[in-house]
Amino acid sequence: MEPTTEVVTARPAPMLAAFIDRYVGYRMSGFAAAVHRGLPSRHMTFIVAVGPTIDVVVQTDPRQSPRNYRCVVSGLQASTALIAHDGHQEGVAVELTPLGCRTLFGMPAAALWDTSVEFADVDGPAGLELWERVQHAPTWPERFAACDRVLSARADQNRIVGPELTWAWRTMVRSGGGISVGPLAEEIGWSRQHLTRRFNQEFGVSPKLAARITRFERARRMLEHAPSFVTIAQVAAACGYYDQAHLDRDFAEFAGTSPTKWLAEEIPSVQDSDGFAG
């Protein structure tokens, strides 16, 4: 069987659009069984499996045991998870920003930093309902509508991140990770130390590390989609790295490998669709 990849995207319902960037439906089949790298991202991990479970064989926190998930939720991370697959993967990824963790789950994103959980363990009825509805929906639009229905009912608009941190997060993302802590703090009217402390308390990560992860993600996506004549050094420069060596160091830290090796080994994944959108 020839390997096939299908990726379908959709925007969420208007009431969810402030903290869910989009839904990504994916179906990949005919590939050799392998291990996929789940890389750091500016989005939380929120994936509803269709068919086979999501088999995390190495967690981002090595103290957490391997586990199979029907609907996995993870906070932000700064290292790689390893996910085994048998050549077939299918599901819906919810591109949830950490701004929505309070609204959907009643907790700051920091509470899930570097941790993976089953959605049903966070909210049993909603977690089970989401998985079941997506499983039994025959088309991508119906699967996305199921996500809208369950998550809209779950969302509590009284549980939101404060305006200063919301602005800081969105500004950092729009910059592609190119803005430093000083200008963010100055615009808000906070000290650098106060912004760093509040940012960490809410998102589980410092503004500096969040910016590095965002810049790394932008470079990774650009490498995946760049034509063959574009070099890694050119991508590094376009994403604001001092030189290729700095990009190589971020790949070693965040992906556990080099850009060249990652490009050679990695099959298409849900993370690679549609490039970088702030």
Q: Domain check: are 236 and 190 in the same one?
A: no
Under 8 Å between Cβ of 45 and 38: yes
Domain count, the chain: 3
172 and 133 part of one domain: no
* Element (DSSP H or E) covering residue 215: helix 207-225
Q: Name the average pLDDT for the chain.
A: 93
Burial-class residue 177 by CB neighbours within 10 Å (0-12, 13-18, 19+). buried
Q: Is there a single domain that holds both residue 181 and residue 101?
A: no
Distance, CA of 219 to CA of 276 (rounded, Å)? 9
Say if residue 8 is in the same domain as residue 124: yes
Contact 105, 151 (CB under 8 A): no
Q: Of 83, 80, 45, 115, which Cα lies nearest the Cα of 256? A: 80
Q: Do 144 and 199 fall into the same domain?
A: no
Provide the 3-class DSSP secondary structure of residue 160: coil
Segments in the chain below pLDDT 70: 1, 267-278
Whole-angstrom distance, CA of residue 185 vs CA of residue 87:
46
What pLDDT, on a 0 to 100 scale, did the predictor assign at position 84? 95
Answer yes or no: do 10 and 70 share one domain. yes
Report the side by side order of strands in the sheet with 4-10.
Answer: 4-10, 20-29, 89-96, 45-49, 71-74, 116-118
pLDDT at 277: 39
Q: Classify the C-alpha dihedral 213-215-221-224 as positive or negative.
A: negative
Cα–Cα distance for residue pair 89/80, rounded to 1 Å: 19
Domain holding 68, by residue range, is 4-154
The Cα–Cα gap between 99 and 18 comes to 8
CA atoms within 13 A on the CB side of 263: 16
Residues 85 and 179 in one domain: no
26 and 142 part of one domain: yes
User: CA 228 to CA 260: how far, in whole Å?
Assistant: 12
Which pTM was predicted? Answer: 0.92
